[in-house]
Amino acid sequence: MNFRIEQKVAAPVDLVEAALVDAEFIAATAELPKVGGAELLDQQRDGDRVKQRIRYRFTGELSSAVTAVVDRDRLTWVDEADYDLGSHRSEHRIVPDHYGNRLQASYSDRLEPDGVGGTRRVAAGTVKVRMPLVGGRVERAIVSGLEEHAAAETALLERWVTGNG
């Protein structure tokens, strides 16, 4: 399943990008809905490049048909990201802690000025779940969770960069 999530953040690109690689901001995202438990595992900086690994867990609702074949406590993964701060782009690969043979996901993220002092953030990628009968439902649940998480993260970003986070 392909997805595209566009956000408008009422803050300049540099501040938004700085927050996305700030360990304290990452920790603050742990309580956001649907996709939570953010835990920064590793971060390496080299000039304008930042590589980081964050573990997440799915905290959204799942149907009984899905939970019959998936243990919700095992829905954790690592987002392996490579940020290019010079171009305001990042590439992400999702690495499941469990069900690795059933889930494949990746996305690209770009930040650009919106022309009025804010940031337009666009994430586009794919999620593929290999599970007979429920794969499509799981994909839709994951994308729905990502969309809800993105909306909540936008509000947190705006509070964070104004010092009200």
Alpha-carbon distance of 33 to 28, in angstroms, equals 12
- Helical (H) or strand (E) element with 49: strand 49-58
Q: Which CATH number fits domain 2-161: 3.20.20.70, 2.40.110.10, 3.30.530.20, 3.40.109.10?
A: 3.30.530.20
Ordered by start, the domain boundaries in the chain are 2-161
**pLDDT tens digits for the chain (165 residues)?**
999 999 999 999 999 999 999 999 999 998 888 777 899 999 999 999 999 999 998 877 777 766 777 787 888 999 999 999 999 999 999 999 998 888 899 999 999 999 999 999 999 999 998 888 878 888 888 888 889 889 999 999 999 998 866
**Under 8 Å between Cβ of 139 and 18:** no
